[in-house]
């Protein structure tokens, strides 16, 4: 019997995984992957302006953000979603959080991982998350960390698209056609009512990346049609048998 294929998304805030890789999640779930999501925070302080303007309390904001993320995860067929509640603006990424995430990585044994761009001066929670993810990935590979546990192999870490791409030094080298699961991604985006302004923005991003997918799959000489796509930047070299 073949081994279960898995993937792990490490998201700084509760909605990040939806905007930036919701299509990849839904598509790989459809392909039989068990996709797990770890939300380091709810984004309660820095990414919930509408809820604060409505006079919500901190606990209410957290509760609303959690429910929105759970609904979005359900729309995308996420296998498991965890909320570590580490605060935001800034994230509190201490030793306890590190141990938690290393344990999760080893339990999931992902075939690939996803997180944020490596540089984001507009939201340092994002770039701190990717540095944190790389550190946890490294520890999970170490035979001397909790000897006797199954160590991690060498999963690719894909960096999903940041909000202001041109400012982040993010350069995509992988485009994924998400047309067949676009309705799921849009439904998941619409679960995040606290950030309505991003629904159409990320729809336009997906349409733009679809154009890049078509151009890079053969261009005008026969590129594959695509209506919606996501772009990713890989951290590690990829090994292939043919190009």
Q: Which domains does the chain have, with CATH numbers?
A: 6-234 (3.40.50.10320)
pLDDT tens digit string along 4-62?
999 999 999 999 999 999 999 999 999 999 999 999 999 999 999 999 999 999 999 99
pTM: 0.95
Using one digit for the tens of pLDDT, what is the confidence trace for 129-155?
999 999 999 999 999 999 999 999 999
pLDDT on residue 220: 63
Per-residue pLDDT at 1: 47
DSSP readout, 190-235?
TT-GGGTHHHHHHHHHHHHHHHHHHHHTTGGGTPPP-S-EEEEEES
What is the bridge-based pairing of β-strands 156-160 and 112-115? parallel
Mean pLDDT of the chain: 95
- Angle of helix 16-30 relative to helix 182-189, nearest 10 degrees? 150
With tokens 């698209």, the residue in question is: 161
Task: Select from 71, 8, 14, 22 the least CA-distant residue to 183.
Answer: 22
């Amino acid at each position: 019997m073949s081994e279960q294929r898995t993937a792990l998304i490490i998201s700084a805030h509760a909605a990040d995984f939806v905007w930036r890789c919701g299509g990849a999640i839904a598509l790989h779930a459809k392909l039989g992957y068990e996709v797990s999501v770890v939300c380091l925070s709810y984004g309660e302080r820095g990414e919930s302006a509408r809820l604060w303007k409505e006079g919500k309390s901190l606990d209410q904001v957290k509760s609303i953000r959690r429910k929105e993320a759970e609904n979005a995860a359900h729309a995308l067929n996420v296998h498991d979603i965890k909320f570590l509640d580490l605060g935001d603006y800034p994230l509190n990424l201490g030793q306890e959080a590190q141990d938690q995430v290393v344990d999760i990585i080893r339990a999931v044994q992902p075939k690939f991982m996803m997180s944020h761009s490596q540089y984001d001066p507009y939201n340092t929670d994002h770039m701190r998350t990717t540095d944190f993810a790389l550190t946890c990935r490294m520890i999970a590979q170490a035979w001397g960390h909790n000897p006797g546990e199954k160590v991690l192999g060498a999963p690719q870490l894909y960096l999903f698209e940041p909000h202001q791409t041109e400012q982040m030094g993010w350069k995509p080298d992988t485009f994924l056609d998400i047309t067949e699961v676009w309705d799921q991604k849009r439904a998941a985006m619409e679960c995040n009512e606290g950030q309505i302004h991003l629904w159409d923005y990320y729809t336009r991003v997906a349409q733009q990346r679809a154009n890049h997918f078509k151009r890079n799959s053969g261009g005008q000489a026969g590129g594959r049609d695509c209506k919606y796509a996501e772009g990713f930047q890989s951290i590690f070299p990829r090994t292939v048998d043919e190009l």
